[in-house]
Structure 1
């Protein structure tokens, strides 16, 4: 009499996740479009410079400083206009809306490397790196519960909803800037400033979810698999000191040793000197 219920429960637990086809198609298109950078007609050092600059603006100021240390963990405070600017920069990475990003990351810290972790590293490197975003996961339904502090903010609502049209607007702007710089460079600016830059920022950010739960050293016993990985810190402006971060998640400084270079912490110190970063929290370990 107990066999049928057990089979039913097992079946429910093993139900395959539903793919997010819009995300899968978008990622495929962006990655394929980035390959256009290999065409000689699309290469220019000016376009490469645009991509590097936007990598810092969107990935460094936007994701690392804005989405992560400022909003997700509230490790420091800024004037509201600066907070909105940083969130705007982060929205240009096309890593989903800011509310979704913040909510899922807060869940990651609560359930790090456990079943409810949105990118549980126990499920494999590829899952934690990128394929977790290709499926409807249970954590998606919990975002609202973890983002009540920003849910009613009209600016956050706008950026959460319209991050994709903003990317299109940036592409149009880059095209005309390229043409103004030198006729014929408009498309080069778009290929490098949008497609190449998006792909590089995607994978730099994802390495924090995957590589820093697999490679590197551990300074603290943080009850998960988080590690400190120097090369991830290099491409993410200091986010690679992930074990430090998991042990002291509200600290604005992630690189706690002198050799753990943390460019984002240096940025916060600069803002602090200007009076634009206040109530800066630091690790007590």
Structure 2
């Protein structure tokens, strides 16, 4: 899909390319390409650490399994901590992210109602839905309608408004510790890596892989995405039982995010952890 706009057979209003988004995402990707000139093992280690902290604990555990699906409960202060880590991932504020993902589950793969429907093609569900934003999915009315529990909370409202600015103190701290090498890897490489691992859940795991459950959508289990995305690649399991706290059900289905939840559960911090139903586990 190229050019300033394109039409969909099922969409009356043409989708228009948002140049602000194009410039922003292109700039971050170009800055990440500076990585070979700023490489150091310590910077690479910082990137991996922040990738896990903001990706697994922030997005997968915080935004996804805790805030979107409420698959377990933790004390409010810890919930806020996970939400804050998710905001540091620079994938949008919690209200935006949660509302969009709840829409995805409510209308999975519907070309009109699913923000990143895989039926529009791999690249649409991967990134084009952001570059050609549809008004109904990028409005505060939609956010508040599908995430009213978060929209009533002043802390999540604040995160939704200022999540972009939170990258500034991270960048300044990394520069103070390790100079530009730490900034390039700890900010730009980390952001781009996490963007694409998250987007692959929307795109690749709805097109490729195996199916354990006969869901009405095209969700798949894809092992290599699970490795990249901290367990989220067991996507067919997740779509079959979205409120279950674990995505990897078999012993060999690595689910790093579940390990963190299980640790919290063992310590008595996570409560009301939703586990797979017995009849579903027998299908495995």
When the two structures are superposed, what TM-score results if normalisation uses the length of structure 2? Answer: 0.91
**Which residue of 101, 122, 127 corresponds with 1:125?**
122
Equivalent residue, structure 2, for 1:146: 146
Task: Please list the CA deviations of residues 82-102 of structure 1 after superposition, one character each: whole Å capped at 9, or x if unmatched.
Answer: 111111111111111110000
Shift in Å at residue 11 of structure 1? 10
The CA deviation string for residues 212-245 of structure 1, in whole angstroms up to 9 with x for no partner, is 0011100111100000000010011100000000
Provide the C-alpha distance between the structure 1 equivalents of 2:225 and 2:171, rounded to a whole number of angstroms. 28
Deviation digits for residues 32-80 of structure 1 (CA, Å, limit 9, x no counterpart): 00011121xx111100000000000011100000000000000000111
State the distance in 1 between where 2:102 and 2:122 align. 20
Counterpart in the other structure of 1:244: 237
Cα pair distance change 1:220/1:232, threshold 3 Å: same
Identify the residue that residue 257 of structure 1 maps to in structure 2. 250
Residue by residue over 1:156-198, the C-alpha shift from the partner in whole angstroms, topping out at 9 and shown as x without a partner, is: 01111111110111101110011xxxxxxx0000000000000
Match of 1:114 among 110, 114, 117: 110
Alignment of 1:207 onto 2:200: yes
| TM superposition score normalised by structure 1 | 0.91
Equivalent in the alignment of 1:69: 65
**Within the alignment, does 1:225 sit opposite 2:218 as a pair?**
yes
* 2:169 pairs with 1:169: yes
Map of 2:55 onto structure 1: 59
- In the TM superposition, 1:191-206 aligns within 5 A as 191-206=184-199
* CA RMSD, Structure 1 to Structure 2 (Å): 1.5
- 1:136 Cα deviation (Å)? 2.5
Q: Distance in 2 between matches of 1:67 and 1:19?
A: 27
Unaligned runs of 5+ in 1: 1-9, 179-185
State the distance in 2 between where 1:21 and 1:101 align.
21
Structure 1 position 19, deviation (Å):
2.9
Task: Tell me how many residue pairs correspond in the alignment.
Answer: 267
Structure number with larger C-alpha Rg: 1
Distance 1:253 1:13 in 2: 36
Change (3 A) 1:114 1:76: same
- The residue aligned with 1:134 is 131
Which ranges of structure 2 fall in alignment gaps of 5 or more residues?
Answer: 1-7
